[in-house]
Chain A
Amino acid sequence: MNSLAQPQPVPRWPGFSRPVAIVSALLALLVLSVLAAAGTGAVPLPPLQILAILAALLGLDPGVPVGAGETSLILHLRLPRVVLAMIVGAGLAVCGAALQGLFRNPLADPGLVGVSGGAALGAGLVIVAGGLLAPPMFPALRMWLLPIAAFGGGLAAALLVYRLGTRAGVSDITAMLLAGIAINALAGAGLGAFSYFANDEQLRNLTFFTLGGLGAANWTLVAICLGVVTLVAFVFLRQARALNALLLGEAEATHLGVDVQAVKRRIFLGVAAAVGVLVAFTGMIGFVGLVVPHLARMMLGPDHHRVLPVSMLLGALLVVLADLGARTLIVPAELPLGVLTAALGAPFFIWLLAKRGKDA
């Protein structure tokens, strides 16, 4: 899986190791992107006014008058969206990185273990047949029906893949990958059937779900996603040493004292929970989970102590920038986010691949 990883070159500047330099640069870029994203939108607001609004929100006296409408725009529309973009990017990327480490397969991504497919199927069920379930339900509950069904679908699919790939308490990586492909095919068939029975409106909603978007962002969603992603990232980071040992092979990892089965279970459940929640609220945002971990490895080598956190940084950066584009490119309308993550990330990835070919 680390065929794409580069050997680590000698530090260029004494006193600054390459990892420190790269991480600092990425952090600086992320901060700049977040500021740019918070400062840019369909409603033009000068940077100074945004600073004044933020100061007022923090209880400071900005010294200039701040409009209630503008404050509400920043507080309820733009800020939760930028923060959610960071969380979604970091979460999808760390899940991809952990899965690629676990499967020792560069093509592993959260979609492969069935989570995204199952979630889409759950969402499709609510979009197409939700009307049948809706009348007896409270409207407030109806709003949560789609995320709950999507999360349930994702979790069910992932657990099914795990069960199918596990014999006598031992999970076989190849069997899990194949089970993932089979479950995805089934979910695809179900989604196809839903789109056949869907009316015009439902079809449109299905399409938007499969392209992803952060338009529904609010502080409740931010809190839920932040909680889940933080928890899962914490669990994954504790598995970094085990994932490194797994690079040598399962038998070797076992000899090094790693409880391989426990690692598999934790990562699988973590991915199912995190991706399930993220897909439920933001639809299917492609590319991040698959390619961001590769970018991280290209920059800093295969050590999971670095790959996992740097993937989170890169994922956050990519989704914040992609969503900035989604919100502002065709103002006052909006582009689907899934289109932009791929459109932004893929050329950069291709450039890295080509550059690597020249160096070799």
Chain B
Amino acid sequence: MRRREFLALGAMTLALPTRPLHAAPALRVVSVGGAVTECVYAIGMERLLVGADTTSLYPPVAERLPRVGYQRALSAEGLLSLAPGLILASEDAGPPAVVEQIKRAGVRWVSLNTAHTPDAPVQKLLAVGAALGQPTLAAARIRQYEADWRRSQVAVAALPGRPRAIFVMAHGGPTLNLAGRDTAADAMLTLAGCDNALDFKGYKTISPEALLTAAPDVIVTTGQSVDGFGGLQSLLTRPGLAESPAARKRHVVALDGLFLLGFGPRTPQAVMQLAQQTRGQT
């Protein structure tokens, strides 16, 4: 901690010559995307935030920021009303016409990558640090992330077996929405040393019979989805799932959606928890 404070002090003195101490108004930043907002908090620059989108749920205090709506349905004037000097946004942010309007209004727009790799959080922290003029703080947080990542890799490698897992998400319909390849969930399963029992692209609703042949050992989902299913019992008695090894053992892993799928700074912890819980350890 002392080391971080020291670095922060260093960064501040570095920033001093470029800005006069008295008159400089603080940069006003709006953050769009749960993982992006997490990165701003992770490098300790949250005092610059004047707004965030509805996917910015962590840390919980971020929910108290003025809400600019869902990240794919932003409002140009709504954003401008917060008088931001900088908008940090995930690549999912939109609609494109609004992004265009914001840029034309002269607000700096920094787009952050949404890749599903262990390197993605590093890239986000780097970009956020650079955009906020705090590369030193970002570098410190990245070193911590890399240490976390190595620790989680060691822990995952020590775990036995490769559980067959599926990732299921509630979408309000009578069918289940399941994750195939090229999804954040699939990437997390792989990083946690699990095999995705489903082999299609993107999210799909699949028939109970196809689900039966997948025969997962463990069902992974998000806490929000368990509520959407109407509770764990309702999920475990779904046709196609009820007969699976996972349902017989009542082996369901439910983690927070942003924690599990956000590819933010907490990714190492998420990988570790997912790896342990899919093997029945807590």
Contacts and interface: CB of A to CB of B under 8 A. Distances in A.
A69 B106 contact: yes
A208 B95 contact: yes
Contact of B67 (A143, A200, A332): A332
Given A73-B80, A77-B80, A332-B66, A327 B106 contact: no
Contacts of A330: 69
B69 A333 contact: yes
Interface in B239-281: none
A77 B67 contact: no
B interface, size bucket? 20 to 34
Contacts of A331: 78, 81
A72 interface: yes
Contacts of B96: 143
Contacts of A77: 76-77, 80, 101, 105
A208 B74 CA distance: 11
Contacts, number: 84
Given A69-B105, A332-B68, A332-B69, A78 B92 contact: no
Interface in A114-168: 143
A41 B74 CA distance: 14
A264 to B, nearest CB: 36
A184 to B, nearest CB: 22
Interface string B61-80: 00000111110111111111
A217 to B, nearest CB: 8
Interface in A38-66: 41-44
B216 interface: no
A205 interface: yes
Interface in A186-231: 196, 199-201, 204-205, 208, 215-216, 218
Contacts of A43: 77, 80-81, 83
B81 A208 contact: no
A78 B77 contact: yes
Interface string A330-354: 1111100000000000000000000
Nearest to A72: B105
B98 interface: yes
Nearest to B107: A69
A205 B92 CA distance: 11
A73 B73 contact: no
B184 to A, nearest CB: 10
A238 interface: no
Contacts of B68: 332-333
B14 interface: no
B78 A73 contact: no
Contact of B75 (A44, A196, A333): A333
Interface string A64-85: 0000010011001110000000
Interface in B1-45: none
Given A204-B72, A332-B75, A333-B69, 16 more contacts: A42-B81, A43-B80, A69-B105, A73-B77, A76-B104, A76-B105, A77-B76, A199-B203, A201-B72, A215-B98, A216-B98, A327-B77, A330-B69, A332-B67, A333-B75, A334-B75
Interface of B: 51, 54, 66-70, 72-83, 92, 95-98, 101, 104-106, 202-203, 205
12 contacts: A41-B77, A42-B75, A42-B77, A76-B104, A78-B77, A200-B203, A201-B92, A205-B72, A208-B72, A208-B95, A215-B97, A333-B70
